[in-house]
Structure 1
Amino acid sequence: MQLERIQRDRGTSLKEVVNEAIRRGLRELTQPPRRAQRYRTRTVSLGRCLVGSLDDVAEVLAVAEGC
């Protein structure tokens, strides 16, 4: 159990560890949520399409496989 491990590491009573965990949790719950960092994907130019039409999947696979 994590609480018991923390108790042993700190050399304190289980009661003190539980109370500290509750205090920290309540403090975190009462603060406004952090804004998540936006994930951005960079664009890259891949050039023109090497296949005439992507509507025909069989043709696209044939070109990709070199047939």
Structure 2
Amino acid sequence: MRITLQLDDDLFVDLQRWAEREGLTFSELVDLALRQSLASPDKSHRRFRQKTVALGLPSFDVSCANAADARLEDEEIARRVPGRG
């Protein structure tokens, strides 16, 4: 089958040189390279697995932490208002 490929100039030159070294036509080299690429398993796209660890229950009450944060924020705002804090 005949097709037209758009290749970067540097890639085309590299492929031509490779074909000459291997004693292949340009078409034979492209055919061989594509077949090998499709036949080999893709090792770069392995499934990612996140390792997890059970940490148990929180050692503090989050609502207390939120209240403390709000109180500190209120104190900071009061310090910035002229005549207060």
Q: Report the TM-score, using the length of structure 1 for normalisation.
A: 0.39
Give 1 or 2 for the bigger CA radius of gyration. 2
Q: Which has the higher helix share?
A: 2
TM-score (norm: length of structure 2): 0.35
